[in-house]
Amino acid sequence: MPLVNVRNGPLYYRIHGEGPPVVFTHGASWNHRLWEPQVKALSEKYQVITWDVRGHGRTPADSCILTSRVFTEDLTDLLDHLNIDSAVLTGLSMGGIISMQTVIDFPERVEGLVLIGSPCTFRFNFYERTVVPAQRLLSMVMPMRTFAKAQGYYFSRFNPENRTFIEDAVQSLSRQDWSRIWKAITDMDCREGMSGIKCPVLIIQGAHDLMIRHQQQFMAETIPNARLVVVDGADHATNRDKSEEVNALLKNFLDNTVQGSTDGDMAGCE
Q: Give the domain range for residue 15.
A: 3-121+188-255
Q: Across the chain, what does the average pLDDT equal?
A: 93
pLDDT band at 1 (very low <50, low <70, confident <90, very high): low
* Within-domain flag for 152: no
Examine the pLDDT at 142 and tell me if it is beyond 70: yes
* Within-domain flag for 96: yes
Domain count of the fold of the chain: 1
Name which of 90, 82, 85, 81 is nearest 106 in CA terms: 85
Beta bridge partners of 25: 51, 91
Q: Percent of the chain scored above 70 by pLDDT?
A: 95
pLDDT band at 141 (very low <50, low <70, confident <90, very high): confident
* Within-domain flag for 51: yes
pLDDT single digits (tens) 46-89 = 999 999 999 999 999 987 899 999 999 999 999 999 999 999 99
Query: How many CB atoms neighbour CB 34 within 10 A?
Result: 25
* Within-domain flag for 175: no
The pLDDT value given to residue 137: 80
Taking CA atoms, 174 is separated from 61, 80, 132, 188, 229, in Å, by: 11, 29, 20, 22, 35
* Within-domain flag for 65: yes
The pLDDT value given to residue 261: 43
pLDDT band at 258 (very low <50, low <70, confident <90, very high): confident
* Within-domain flag for 136: no
pLDDT single digits (tens) 171-230 = 999 999 999 999 999 999 999 999 999 999 999 999 999 989 999 999 999 999 999 999
Per the CB < 8 A criterion, the answer to whether 209 and 169 are in contact is no
* Within-domain flag for 160: no
The pLDDT value given to residue 249: 98
Give the Cα separation of 8 and 61 in Å (integer): 8
* Within-domain flag for 168: no
User: Which CATH number do you get for residue 18?
Assistant: 3.40.50.1820
SS3 content of the chain, % helix, strand, coil (to 5): 45, 20, 40
